[in-house]
Amino acid sequence: MNNNPQPLISVIIAIYNPGKYLRACLDSIVGQTYKNLEIILVDDGSTDNSLEICREYAEKDSRVIVHHKENSGVSATRNQGIRLAHGDYFSFIDSDDWIEKDTYEYLMNLMTEHNVDVVTHEHYATYPNKEVAHKIPDTEYGLYNRKEAMGILVHYFPFACNKLFSKKIIEGLWFNEEICRGEDGLFTRLAFDKADRAWFDPRPLYHYMQSEESAVRGVFRPSQLTAVKLIDLYEPFFSKKYPELYDYAMSNLLHLMTTLYYDMRVDKVKYLQEQKMVVKEFNKLYPKINLGNIPKKSATLYKTFKISPTMFYLSKKLRLLIGRIAHG
């Protein structure tokens, strides 16, 4: 029984070979100024020394709970954390990232002050030699109802790791274990669909480590093609519940298809059949979207891909090369 007057926050950390970043992540959690935490470390069959490090922290701090399982992916790992959790609020942290020491105290104050079901905050993109604070227009921060919040979410904040969720909107929700890219955004959209009120805050609290070991930023993996399943999930969701957001939400999926295609082209493995499949799905979705309702730059890129995926690939490769040269 929880006799602490503070609400309990369940911090769920899915762990798979985070290497040198794990201690910084755990130190930032156990050192929080907000003390009533349940820190659930779910090791997804790591092959480095992560499990030993987790157990070391559990010995020192009674709030730390360690669960080890065979490797089955981040969604199944987070879902196991949800099953083990008892919190009034939920936070999902990636094991190679870290947060500011007053993160939960700050977020709980926002929860109470604005009487909201979920708080989203800003983040830093953390590189080996610098940090860059992510920022959107100042007018976009603040208090929103459900429909308004979904609009902000679709445009700017798809991730679960920069949010504090109330138990009310988490109950009954699970990360989709059949999808290995974009499952994060799906979970947050379903959670926001249950929220009456949401707050978007300009303060960056989360340090998002940009490393090759991270799930999306590393070498292309065929499992990422499961993201194509998002099309059949999002189409009815937005067309029925948020039709005003349909074009923009679906354009995000067009972007995902072009990204998958590009990632396969730059990989040393020749994913020829997989590329054809992604192009096919792109071509099926493309005519359903009114390109006049999305940014002109995005519409131009999608038109290029529709005409010639190879032309799109070569132009993107050239743009990235020019960008690298310009930034030294």
Note the pLDDT tens digit of each residue in 101-117. 999 999 999 999 999 99
Residue 322 is which amino acid? I
Q: Can you point out the beta strands (E) in 116-179? A: 118-127, 130-133, 142-145, 163-166
Would you call 203 exposed, middle or buried from its count of C-beta atoms within 10 A (0-12, 13-18, 19+)?
A: middle
Model pLDDT, residue 274: 96
Quick: pLDDT tens for 3-52.
668 999 999 999 999 989 999 999 999 999 999 999 999 999 999 999 99
d(CA 231, CA 249): 10
The architecture in CATH of the region 9-209 reads Alpha-Beta Complex (3.90)
What is the token pair recorded at 22? 């794990």
Q: Can you point out the beta strands (E) in 56-196? A: 64-69, 89-94, 98-99, 118-127, 130-133, 142-145, 163-166
d(CA 239, CA 108): 34
Q: Give percent of the chain above pLDDT 90.
A: 86
Quick: pLDDT tens for 246-287.
999 999 999 999 999 999 999 888 899 999 999 999 999 999
Q: Tell me, what DSSP letter sits at residue 286?
A: G
Domains in the chain: boundaries: 9-209, 222-326
pLDDT at 294 over 60: yes
Q: What is the mean pLDDT of residues 163-168?
A: 98
Quick: pLDDT tens for 213-227.
444 445 788 999 999
